[in-house]
Amino acid sequence: MFEINISDADESQLLEISEELGLALSLEDMKKCKRHFSELDKTPTDVEMETIAQTWSEHCYHRTFKGDTIIDGEKVSLFKDYIKKATDEISPPWCVSVFEDNAGIVEFDENRSIAAKVETHNHPSAIEPFGGAATGIGGVLRDILGVWAYPIANTDVLCFGPPDYEYENLPKGTKHPKYLLRGVTEGISHYGNNMGIPTVNGAICFDEGYVGNIVVYCGSVGTLPTDSYVKDPQPGDVVILAGGKTGKDGIHGVTFASVELTEESEEASRPAVQIANPIEEEKLRRAIMKVREKGLGTAITDLGGGGLSSAIGETAQEAGCGAEIELEKVPQKHSNMSPWEIWISESQERMFLTVREEDLEEVLQIFENEETEATAIGKFTTHDTLKVYYKDNLVADLDLDFLFEPPKVKRNAKWDKPDLEEPEISKPENLEEILINLLSSPNISSKESVVRTYDHEVQGNTVLKPLQGEYGGPNDAAILKPFDDSQKGVVVSSGIKPSYGKIDPYWMAASSIEEAIRNNIAVGGRRISLLDNFTWGNPEKPEELGKLTRACEGCYDFAKAFEAPFISGKDSLYNESPFGSVTPTLLITAVGIIPNVKNAVSMEVKEEGNPIYLVGESMPELGGSEYYKHLGFLGESVPEVETEKSKRKIDSITEAIDNSYVRACHDLSEGGLGVSASEMCFTENLGMKLDLKKVPTPIDRDDFLLFSESNGRFLIEVPNEKKSDFEELMNNCTAAQIGKVTNNNSLSIQGLEGKEIINLPSKKLRKAWKGGLELE
């Protein structure tokens, strides 16, 4: 241990101390520390300064979202005035715990609940893709364990630069998108498969804006008896550290995640990337479930960002307690670790529990029986301080009120609509060629080569799988049946529209929310809860913060409109590189329920002669579309969301599914009607004949109508005998029969002028879709 003399330091020296120690604390932060310790007439130790740095980091405290944002002369809090406000105003009765713990918790049935969390692991995965992604999955699984839940499924959404990016254009220290993609997906597969947890949902996006900053979202869903959710530590409770040993890996992980990537990050920040051991976490999982079953724990949380310093400090502060910790009792990988290294290490597969003193021996025996280490390292106390000892030496003594009151961030935001225009595009002569090209494009083409590396059926609960039908077509959502004694299921879907954010982040948020909900509804889900994950550039730049504020406004408006509460979320900011800011990206994850999994609907057509209906209106909205991207344009006509119309469609389609009026349902998203119809055809040995003249639309061009990405649309196969019932049910929505299922294994589309513009065998469509993404 050593002391850090900040009381005599001037401003430049304070910043130098922060930089040399890797604290990532601002001048204002350092000045507050100087005032605090000067008032105490005390010189802070390295352990104390490191504790403050972890706790005050953007990663742990979410200072931008909790701070004051000034935009158009008004002061707002991104979290309180947008994200949390939506949930507060919806006030859904099924929410058990939101924004308060490692994961959001909602009711599943009368006695059981669902826990859900999605994390980001961008910076570590950019440095070491396998380890970064593997520990991302490991961390989010511990978030589920951290609310006493049993993980039943994983989800992952990944964003990379174009797979054909030229190597010579990569700056020093930046890895090629293909290398990153392979490493990340292998890391996710390794961890989930070894723990026996299925990866059932996800997406992969490609964009130039991810070359310097990849985006790795790792999510998990779990279940728990509702009355097992306990978080009530008391003074005298014993602090237990369980799981893997503590090492020098993962040190400064949260401060690393709160700064920009540079050409030197590859070498300088590699120690911040943790090392994954899924077998250790599996043993940890089994032990925690036994502690839960016996009701022996009073609190639990994972050791993620900030390690022991954050886990113990946060739990004690929330409980109104203090804590005394003996660091020498922490099991260590190395014999030469300094106290501060032990304290902030983010070594993986570790959990922190509190138990009553009388239950200590029984709990330790449970962990021993599972062959994973558990050690009592301290106690909770009545005082409001965090005291840390190392071999009887007091190495940290911090007031918890001070520790959890960092200087409030106050920043200016500016939103100016980008100067964009619609491209002038002549009518193409060969729409078949364009459809084939879109199906084989990176963002639309099959991700089966990745999906098949994940075990999506382990545990035997996956009712609706990510790949569907004889030829592995793309399902809209996954359904899990978690309990043998219930036919009720959990529905997991996602929505992500990064290209739309380049035009207007507000409509990106709206479209992402609507798409996540629409995907859930398409398979039979309802009563939907949302998780929000923001990946953004430097919020100290007014234009970046302006985009973020605009997206948060969209989150509030459309979560409120759809009565879908946010239950958890995470922001990853400062995603900057030599290329500049990352493409602003919002992932929305939707968790719904289906009353009976036997009513689940998949996307492939089922029976010759059945009518095909298009529900929803197709508008001239191609800004940010894959069609424009294919032609080298962005555009400005970003798809918008009409909530009242969407809600009517959602309610009617849900009722239609419950009444068995729907044989197949597929949402229209990337690539529009042309791509969605192709996918429904080539997933099975059937075809489809469609007539664009019957599509509800003001569009007067075949190409725009085929590839418009307007929101709120579903392509639905209805049993012949239910046709009139379906039409009567949909009479308050925009819906029209536009074709029928055929048995000729081809997609035939008649254009607006009455001529056949598409006639392609399903085999050719499937070949284009399956052959688009080459990773070798």
Taking a C-beta distance cutoff of 8 angstroms, is the pair 322, 381 a contact? Answer: yes
Q: How far is CA 691 from CA 184, 673, 754, in A?
A: 42, 11, 8
Instruction: For residue 329, give the DSSP letter.
Output: G
The residue with tokens 């030469």 is 336
How far apart CA 87 and CA 422 sit, in angstroms, is: 36
Beta pairing, strands 215-225 & 297-302: unpaired
Taking residue 53's Cβ as centre, other Cβ atoms within 10 Å add up to 26
Contact 151, 604 (CB under 8 A): no
Residue labelled with tokens 């739990």: 315
Instruction: Name, in order, each residue with C-beta under 8 angstroms of 17's C-beta and a sequence gap of 6 or more.
Output: 4, 6, 9, 23, 30
Of 36, 62, 121, 123, the active-site residue reads 121
The helix (run of H) or strand (run of E) holding residue 433 is helix 431-439
How far is Cα 360 from Cα 547, in angstroms, rounded to an integer?
Answer: 50
**Rounded Cα–Cα distance for residues 771 and 357 (Å):** 60
Nearest CA to 1 out of 347, 398, 375, 343 is that of 343
DSSP state letter for 228:
G
State how far the alpha carbon of 139 is from the alpha carbons of 143, 145, 448, 775, in Å: 6, 10, 25, 27
Catalytic-residue membership of 59:
yes
Structure token pair of residue 328: 């020498």
CB burial string 288-305: b at 16+ within 10 A, e below: bbbbbeeebbbbbbbbbb
**How distant, in Å, are the alpha carbons of 51, 212, 246, 257 from that of 250?**
15, 22, 10, 11
* The two structure tokens encoding residue 156: 């992952």
Determine which one of 59, 123, 456, 666 is catalytic: 59
**Known binding-site positions:** 117, 119, 142-143, 274, 302, 346-348, 532, 569, 572
Of 234, 242, 253, the C-alpha closest to 280 is 242
Nearby residues of 351 by Cβ (< 8 Å), 6 or more positions away: 142, 145, 146, 241, 242, 243, 284, 288, 300, 301, 302, 303
C-alpha 18: how far from chain center: 31
Place of tokens 């008896």: 225
Q: Which helix (H) or strand (E) holds 588?
A: strand 585-594
Length, in residues, of the chain: 776
CB 572 within 8 A of CB 213: no
Reply yes or no on whether 121 is catalytic: yes
H or E segment and range at residue 113: strand 112-120
The identity of residue 660, as a single letter, is S
Say if residue 416 is exposed, middle or buried (CB neighbours under 10 Å; 0-12, 13-18, 19+). Answer: exposed
Annotated binding site for ATP: 117, 532, 569
List of E strands, 234-341: 238-243, 297-302, 322-326
Contact assessment for residue 449 and residue 773, using Cβ atoms and an 8 Å cutoff: yes
Q: Tell me the catalytic residues.
A: 59, 121
